[in-house]
Amino acid sequence: MCYTIAVRYRRPRGTRDILPSEYDERQAIYEKARDVLRSYGYRFVELPVFERIELFVRSIGEVTDIVEKEMFTFTKGDETYALRPEGTAGAVRAFLEERMTPPVKIAYWGPFFRAERPQRGRLRQFTQLGIECFGVASPLLDAEQIELALEVFRALGLQEVEVLLNSIGCPMDRVGYRDALRSYLRARESQLCDDCKRRLERNPVRALDCKTDGPRLRAAPAIKDYLCEECAGHYAELKDILSRWGISFREEPRLWRGLDYYTRTVFEFRAKGLGAQDSVGGGGRYDLLVEQMGGPPTPASGWAIGIERVQLARGERLAGSSGPEYFLVSIGQGARAEVIALAKKMRSRGLWVEIDYGDSKPGKQFKLADRLGARRAIIIGDEELAMGVVKVRDMATGEERFVKPEEIV
């Protein structure tokens, strides 16, 4: 069939309709990831998809692309809200507001929103899987979270994932680093984009993850040369643990991530075959954010994985339910009541069963079963009723056999 829809009713740019076959695949992704996360002690929570805008401005940073250009906002009364662009801010808010007692491990899954330019691997509404752990400062946790992400990727069939690693130190480390980076950028100010020029004084590190200027700053000063003894020790221990565990990583001294709340460890996961949008996830440590939001000093760390990008990187789909397990075919009016009764019994056992809702002839019913992708057809007619059996046809091979109804349910 050919359908048309007026332009004004079409879905918003940068969004997608998730149809049944892909929805089933996403459920399979969620279930596989959930099982891996559960083995590491992470339990799922469900958080609001919008928060007060101040939460994101305070946590992500006022001078960032997300806050300045990429948030969807709306005002109701005296309050301005934003659709969540990332998960950590809301998780910290929930940790404090719900008075959770550390150590706490939580996970979340759901839609997030950014007003970016849509392209392959980048949507305005996208799905993320995320984890957060509150109350643990050890680099052992950082290593375990990286290991956990790789275990999730493997469970989803994504084998070749590269780990990029860096330490961005503590606020004291960044004082000297910002001065050095600012001097470097000033000498090249004429080459910078308008955003980087504007941020030069207030937040020069944002140039490192700028989509325009970032790739051209390979020779810029690196934060690793400004780490204090404690931060350098934390980073060295993390690298030692990863090496002992056999986890390969590549140090990326200018990896900073686009969020101001990170401290010390930051990491990113990249997959082949995605072109410029090759990041399938990332995260790091944010030891100061809970305190900055009004809570007690609480170390914390987490990551998020982009589900659409994982799907793109995989290429083929995970096995999921592509069609009903059974389609019940009735031949003759006498069989109609038996088909409905058997369908009820089978559905009560959790089986996916479809029937014909009209008075279609058998041939049309079989065509419908084939179009729906049914694995088997159960045929009930006068002959089957007289024998007290049903006929089961394998829709792939055409093989048929008689069985008693109770053998199915």
Domain ranges across the chain: 7-169+228-314, 171-224, 326-408
pLDDT by position in tens, the chain (length 409): 667 778 788 888 999 999 988 898 899 999 999 999 999 999 999 999 999 999 999 988 877 878 888 899 999 999 999 999 999 999 999 999 999 999 999 999 999 999 988 888 789 999 999 999 999 999 999 999 999 999 999 999 888 899 999 999 998 998 888 888 888 888 777 777 877 777 777 777 777 776 666 666 777 888 888 999 999 999 999 999 999 999 999 999 888 877 889 999 999 999 976 666 688 999 999 999 999 999 999 999 999 999 999 988 887 655 555 788 999 999 987 788 889 899 999 998 888 999 998 888 889 999 999 988 899 999 999 888 888 889 999 998 999 999 888 887 6
Task: Give me the DSSP letters along 217-257.
Answer: -TTS--GGGG--HHHHHHHHHHHHHHHHTT---EE-TT---
Report whether the peptide linkage leading into residue 103 is cis, meaning its omega lies within 30 degrees of zero: yes
Assigned CATH class of 7-169+228-314: alpha beta
Q: What pLDDT sits at residue 101?
A: 95
Contact 27, 320 (CB under 8 A): yes
Residue 325's contacts (CB-CB under 8 Å, 6 or more residues apart) are 351, 352, 353, 374, 375, 376
Do 385 and 403 touch, CB atoms closer than 8 A?
A: no
Q: What would the two tokens of residue 345 be?
A: 């019994």
The confidence score (pLDDT) of residue 407 equals 82
pLDDT at 277: 67
Q: Where are the beta strands (DSSP E) in 119-262?
A: 125-134, 161-167, 250-251
For residues 357 and 378, is the Cβ–Cβ distance under 8 A? no
Q: What is the pLDDT of residue 129?
A: 97
Instruction: Quote the pTM value.
Output: 0.84
Which pLDDT score is estimated for 181?
Answer: 83
Q: Does domain 326-408 have CATH number 3.40.50.800?
A: yes
The closest alpha carbon to 153, from 143, 163, 141, 168, belongs to 163
**285: nearest Cα among 269, 270, 268, 267:** 267
Residue 284: predicted pLDDT: 97
What is the predicted pLDDT for the residue at 156? 93
pLDDT of residue 64: 80
Question: In the prediction, which pLDDT does 215 show?
Answer: 64
